[in-house]
Structure 1
């Protein structure tokens, strides 16, 4: 039986969000957000006076993506980290060397399947 996904509120049109606001917008407790900052290098809120965190819209969207991978898709922290890195790498144009390596990898996988 599939688990229903949680309907999250729309992200308001603001420049910065406090950790409490992000917690509510993403249905994740503040201590989890602080932990994810250590585990996911892409998640870097701005820190101001008194070491207060201020998240930007892209950070909120990233937190929602991490939450989806971990809670809805069932990824581990390492798996979610890898998935995010692959998504970023997939968006970037591939260099000729990277294309050649990818072709070699595909050929090797085909050879392994034949064995």
Structure 2
């Protein structure tokens, strides 16, 4: 487990095998963690194939760090993630600056904020929804999400 993790490629979706290699965790462990950590919800396509997004890979690395490196139990890691998410939401709601800067691109270092936690996004949203009619705040949320994904991809190439 001491082997350093490789950098995450600039891709939009990753298979469970790719995530397993990137995070140093076996696929069956990833499937188990999906049941234990509600924040971890990969998209499923044909035949229930899982496709993880970049922010989910970061979250898995964070979970791995809490469990394997810091010695948390699953319940403890779940609580720690929940505390972190809640404190970041509270800080954003109060208009304060999050340590490390809310306007900085998320890092793939497990010690920093996970991409998934940097914004309060709705699940199962599609950028194609931007062209249709709908709630302005929902459409802005979609734009914001896409911009953060683009920013993250660009920061990886540096």
Q: TM-score range by the shorter chain?
A: 0.7 to 0.9
1:24 and 2:21 equivalent? yes
1:42 and 2:39 equivalent? yes
Given candidates 66, 87, 105, the residue that maps to 2:63 is 66
TM-score, normalisation: structure 1: 0.77
What is the root-mean-square deviation of aligned Cα atoms in Å?
1.6
Match of 1:15 in 2: 12
Decide which structure has the larger Cα Rg and report it: 1
- Structure 1 alignment gaps of length 5 or more: 97-115
The structure richer in helix per residue is 1
Report how many aligned residue pairs link the two structures.
Answer: 93
TM-score, normalisation: structure 2: 0.56
- Structure 2 alignment gaps of length 5 or more: 95-158
CA distance in 1, matches of 2:54, 2:22: 11
1:81 and 2:78 equivalent? yes
- Once the two structures are superposed, what CA deviation does each residue of 1:53-111 show, in whole Å capped at 9, x if it has no partner? 00000000000000000000000000000000001011012679xxxxxxxxxxxxxxx
- Quick check: 1:5–1:72 contact (8 Å CA) kept in 2? no
1:52 and 2:60 equivalent? no
Given candidates 69, 92, 100, the residue that maps to 2:89 is 92
List 4+ stretches of structure 1 deviating above 4 A: none
C-alpha displacement of 1:5: 4.3
